[in-house]
Homo-oligomer: A and B are copies of this chain.
């Protein structure tokens, strides 16, 4: 039912996770139909923006009926690739790595966590949600043997590029990077950075420009 994904602009794609989140909430509340106007109030987008965005995936909205929540949700899942299973590992098993490992939601959307890695002897041998923590020296062999798709980097900044190089060398397709540095990888490797400080600095901007601060 979806048109070719290639025609959907990246700006629209970047809004899809938010639609996905709100549609999931509606389904959890057993709401099966919604108008663009109601979605607009919930999500803070204009109704016309919503109609334009959702128009990209074919004709889910019907006059006088609105959107079929479940159909729309499944379609967005498909577009986002959430119906596929990905094999992931976490490198860096400190608090952040463990926090990510404990997000059972990720597992539910197809991100299968196979192992964590660390250099700290106190962490090696531990299990986080039944997933073992291995010595970082075993990383490359593990990835090659288990055909890992995604490497999640939760190490301190100074080790991140070296880990990224190792991941690239072993043929990982994508890197989800939490280290506060922009990693250099070849063009065929997909990279998504989570720069927590970027978000905090925007909050700081808004706060310091507030009238009454």
A: residues with CB less than 8 A from B are 5-6, 13-14, 16-18, 20-22, 43, 79-82, 84, 86, 94-96, 98-100, 102-103, 105-106, 109-111, 149-150, 173-174, 176, 180-182, 190, 192, 194-210, 213
A196 with B197: in contact, given A84-B208, A98-B95, A203-B174 (CB under 8 Å)? Answer: no
* Main DSSP-derived SS at the A contact region: helix
Contacts of A94 in B (CB 8 A): 99, 102
What's the minimum C-beta distance from A99 to chain B, rounded to whole angstroms?
4
Point out which of A5, A84, A204 has the most chain B C-beta atoms below 10 A from its C-beta: A204
A18 with B198: in contact, given A190-B206, A208-B81 (CB under 8 Å)? Answer: yes
Contacts of A111 in B (CB 8 A): 200, 204
Contacts of A103 in B (CB 8 A): 196-197
Contacts of A204 in B (CB 8 A): 80-82, 84, 86, 109-111
**C-alpha gap A206/B187 in the complex (Å):** 12
Q: Which among B95, B110, B198 is the interface contact of A95 at CB below 8 angstroms?
A: B95
Asked whether, in the complex, the Cβ of B79 is within 8 Å of the Cβ of A14, the reply is no
Asked whether, in the complex, the Cβ of B84 is within 8 Å of the Cβ of A180, the reply is no
Q: Which among B14, B96, B195, B208 is the interface contact of A202 at CB below 8 angstroms?
A: B14
Asked whether, in the complex, the Cβ of B205 is within 8 Å of the Cβ of A13, the reply is yes
Contacts of A180 in B (CB 8 A): 21, 105
